Copies of this chain bind each other. A is one copy, B any other.
């Protein structure tokens, strides 16, 4: 066979393969719309039908990834000489293919059934604050996940393999290093904050109607130049962002006694949506038009939430917007808003309500516990005690019950183990990106002037436009010039909190 015939065959195979990849992506994106609808729009009684629809799409997506045609295309293409772009697409799809085909269908179904059973048990356990109610289901999920990981790679610790579901390329070693740096840096810093005489307090003590807060959230999104032609804002019980580069939606929620939560969650979700909207449109349907997993996604939300949103200059821009929308805020000052947005909550036990500083000890605690639990070094029955001890050690506070302790988060009930670290990795990366951006841009000056265009453009250029073309590590090094490190994050919080708390 001549060289050109081989090329033609490869081209044809790649074309067929790519069409399949695109179809599968479309099925996944359709499921994304259905899940958005379920959280935001669906009437309560719609659950039965919606579950059926989502199961069907999930099964179809699995078949589109794992059937014989796909196996042949991937085998052929792995032997072919592909350009960089095709190599990247094949790497991403091939990775998913390998994982999906190494796990027996029976196990996948068993896991899906166990998760469906576990979720209501967790809900009940949390309501009753009774870990026992969830313990058996959790044990079962732990066992099944160990088995799952063993099918994928019997030669590595199960937790390492599970972590790669959420962050495929950085490696657990990197996560462990970063989380250790965070723990070592943050535990003493938080102690110093505790011992400081400074007490920051919220200036918000009134009632702030949800409607007013929603108008404010829209104005803030306008200020950041959120692309409304490719997105929308709604309310949801747990804020999230979802969609594609053509339609990246955000949600938030409103606490009528406290407006900062909705503001920061809106800016956080904006960061996620901005990433999604910045993915190349012409690559829709392929990995080159998809985001680079959870670490990078979280870096985008945290960059906007913390490095822009919690800055003094952004607070200065926010004050008149808040005054325009929320009653009784005529006397709000920039400094008061800045302090409230950065207050360290000394006795908060709940991760999703944590401040920027203590947040990571919530993550470290979960990481250590779930790693031991999956590794078999911690019995499921011992989780509540281990949880409470860890909180006491790292944060100096002890949960009084399981609802505010080890039952607070939904992730385990979904059978997700290894997800939590990506939250901290994302924050750490956000600080590293912020530092790299400051080599090119006067970020403070731009935020002060409300000129977010160059910031968005920097992120698009360095991160968004690449989709999943590069592995996480490659993308980080290209954008920031060095591998992931907690150094920038620790510098950033030490400087900010020393100033705020007179340390």
Contacts and interface: CB of A to CB of B under 8 A. Distances in A.
A297 B286 CA distance: 41
Interface residues of A, number: 40
B43 A37 contact: no
A392 to B, nearest CB: 45
A247 B34 contact: no
A57 B27 contact: yes
A49 B284 contact: yes
A46 B243 CA distance: 10
A45 B284 contact: no
Contact of A52 (B48, B55, B284): B284
Nearest to A55: B26
28 contacts: A22-B52, A23-B56, A23-B59, A26-B53, A27-B53, A27-B57, A27-B60, A29-B52, A30-B31, A30-B34, A30-B53, A30-B57, A34-B34, A41-B41, A41-B232, A43-B228, A43-B231, A45-B227, A45-B230, A45-B246, A46-B230, A46-B246, A46-B247, A48-B246, A49-B247, A49-B284, A52-B284, A60-B60
A503 interface: no
The 7 A-B pairs of least Cβ separation, nearest first, read A46-B247, A26-B56, A49-B246, A45-B230, A45-B229, A30-B53, A26-B53
Contacts of A42: 247
A287 interface: no
A37 B50 CA distance: 14
Given A27-B60, A30-B56, A57-B30, A50 B246 contact: yes
A274 to B, nearest CB: 14
A43 B284 contact: no
A285 interface: yes
Given A23-B59, A56-B23, A29 B49 contact: yes
